[in-house]
Structure 1
């Protein structure tokens, strides 16, 4: 029961944080267009700014996510959650105050800098927290529930953005992000592998530690020794064929997803003149279908269908979604494609579950951080490929008249991930012999 309560507090923390950060998404495109290209529906500068920001964030997170995950194995998930949850508040406060051109560029700069640390780190640490407290055979279902909580936050945030003004949207988002950080610090219990206890502050060197009256405690290595090297990450990838295959799938799926993020809003703006409310309606449909899938279907399917098969099904849904976007001839088509979200949402929890079962309990943060770093690497490359293509094929200088060509390229990247996923075979979990006395469902 105690472990169950800890997971409930984690879910509430993730929900509030995601609610605050995602509810601004429908409004950001309009704010960007008004600040950079007022009165226009097509703006190459806005596309390039978004792509540059995405690549910059990826460059930061490819280093920071493995580091944060590795540090959390030593100093606890809660201690490391504090940093990204606090930093993510700052950019929201800026646009909550004003959305003029000057304030937009201040937001743009600070959002880029803070996201180099924050982007993906809350999800990474939440996944490691779940792995600390849930048995291997049931992680796929619980990872799916965690993803469903995130999707539910997207639905609630999008619904709120649909009815709030732009100014109020950013104000409410900033307040929710503050509330999430406070809730986490008050209610969430610390979690370490094997139910260890923290023996020193995160920034204190092990050389300064002294023995306590109740006996000698093991010294923690210095923080500088916890920075994972490239060789260490390569060694981790080589530790399991299944792990390396999952990493390849994660890379190509993220390469495609990053392209979708960088282009879809501007594509819909240029092709069908979408506004904030229409973005919100579309995101709401995607969120509801994804939430139903993760919270209802996936917990039922996970015990019956192997997670590598669910992963392949999800990738097939992603391919179909991208190809339908490429031939969209009317504004109703993007709404119709949301049916594929029911399957596409299988991908992240299945990948994370496959990875978690190949690594021992003392390295869950490192493993999840490694996969998150690979995803960030894809996010560096993705805008370099897709942003110029999006700007080119939405402009009058396109080599041929096919505005949806970008989605054909996205579908091709997902197809590579799909064929790689077919090679994944269930392998005996590395940590299967480990003690599960700390697991919630033991």
Structure 2
């Protein structure tokens, strides 16, 4: 409990930042449709532009995340958090000022550029920060709590605020909270790494029976040593050295492929099929957010030590798969609301996967490991729009080869099924402190 208390400023920072970003999600579909196709419920241009933006952001984050993760190992998590949290303010401020077509395109371009640095890196650096401060045995629960705060509580509060605010007020409040998050982080958050005698950073893990974690840093363990900015060769070396890490990477790819499809397709499907608007999107997301928050803050800390993160990962992926398959054949407006019940279990997936990956590297490589997983996830988000955006536009149009408006949603469910099958192949692997010494020096000094 003392260790989790030490993360309180990180939790507040992540909450404020994610609160701002989640506030705009229910409103952005209507804003996009109004700017591009006013008065319509189906707009192929909006679907394709959203997918293209998602692909470009994915390309940028695939390149940037391993770099940012590695730099955070050298210069500290707090220092690297400053950039993404600052630049994320700009696109929100644009739509807070105006949402006309010209301002929407300005938002579109600037958000594409800033999201390459900011969209995933805040979560990646927060995960590395937790790994710096929490021993291996407690990381699954800690990651679950972080996810509950960052994608549960903030999601619920942000969506609830959007439900009762006008579109103009939504973007203004989001801009304000994004600024508060950056200031709070700079003032209150303490660096999780400290320099050693050679000027290199060291993780700070203190208190409790696992306090000897730092002492094991010099004992035989599995460690990947990157001398410079990680390249494709570095990532390949890491994947080859750890079977468990490579399996986690495959799961991450297909689950992120599905997540990208949800971002590119689901809201447009609901708007075209059931004429959902901002308020209905907010209601749906609110139910989903409450389910995820309860799961990650209450159930996961209790279940993780008992059944392990590997089984929780499989449960989460299976629940997500069933959710999408049922949603794809939704026959009434209440069906999307009912399927959010699966969110209680689907929320187990992401923190469990990150915990599995975290245990496959040494204490000095947490930023690199989380950056590599984020980079692989970003690769999936590049590919996803090229698959799901055309399918969504085609099957929502009058020229569909057969009547199945939710065909792209069914494809998302199949991607989650592949991830679920791969997760069943993951076997419990020894932690870094119990493994034999393996060095993967992939670049010259």
With the length of structure 2 as denominator, give the TM-score of the two structures. Answer: 0.90
1:169 aligns with 2:170: yes
Alignment of 1:132-211 (within 5 A): 132-150=132-150, 151-192=152-193, 196=196, 199=199
Aligned twin of 2:213: none
Equivalences for 1:34-433 in 2 at 5 Å? 34-150=34-150, 151-192=152-193, 196=196, 199=199, 226-432=228-434
Indicate whether 1:31 and 2:55 are aligned.
no
Q: Distance in 2 between matches of 1:403 and 1:367?
A: 39
In the alignment, the residues of structure 2 paired with residue 68 and residue 231 of structure 1 have an alpha-carbon distance, to the nearest angstrom, of 17
| RMSD (CA atoms) | 1.8
Could you say what secondary structure the match of 1:362 adopts?
coil
How far apart in 2 are the matches of 1:274 and 1:289?
Answer: 21
Q: 1:12 to 1:363 in 2, by over 3 A?
A: same
Q: Distance in 2 between matches of 1:24 and 1:323?
A: 27
Kindly report structure 1 stretches of 4+ aligned residues shifted beyond 4 Å: 1-5, 194-201
CA separation of 1:72/1:2 partners in 2, compared to 1, >3 Å: closer, same or farther?
A: farther
Q: Secondary structure of 1:337's match? A: helix
How many angstroms apart in 2 are the aligned matches of 1:331 and 1:101? 30
Deviation at 1:198, TM superposition (A): 10
Cα separation, 2, equivalents of 1:18 and 1:182? 14
Q: Is the 8 A contact 1:27 1:166 kept in 2?
A: yes
Corresponding residue of 1:204: none
- How many pairs align? 411
Q: 1:286 to 1:41 in 2, by over 3 A?
A: same
Which residue matches 1:439?
none
- Any idea what SS the aligned residue of 1:376 has? helix
- Report the Cα distance in structure 2 between the residues aligned to 1:173 and 1:226, rounded to whole angstroms: 37
Mapped to 2, the partners of 1:197 and 1:171 lie a distance apart of: 47
CA distance in 1, matches of 2:196, 2:70: 15
- Partner Cα separation in structure 2 for residue 155 and residue 421 of structure 1: 28
- Kindly provide the CA deviation profile for residues 30-55 of structure 1, in whole angstroms up to 9, marking residues without a partner as x: 00000000000000000000000000
Deviations 1:350-389 (A, max 9, x none): 0000000010001000000000000000000000000000
C-alpha distance in 2 between matches for 1:139 and 1:195: 23
Q: TM-score, normalised by structure 1?
A: 0.90
Q: CA deviation at 1:307?
A: 1.1
Return the alpha-carbon distance in structure 1 between the equivalents of residues 190 and 435 of structure 2.
26
Contact 1:6–1:189 (CA under 8 A) maintained in structure 2: no
Offset, 1:3: 5.1
Task: State the 1:408 CA deviation.
Answer: 1.5
Distance 2:196 2:90 in 1: 33
Contact persistence 2:4–2:142 (CA under 8 A): no
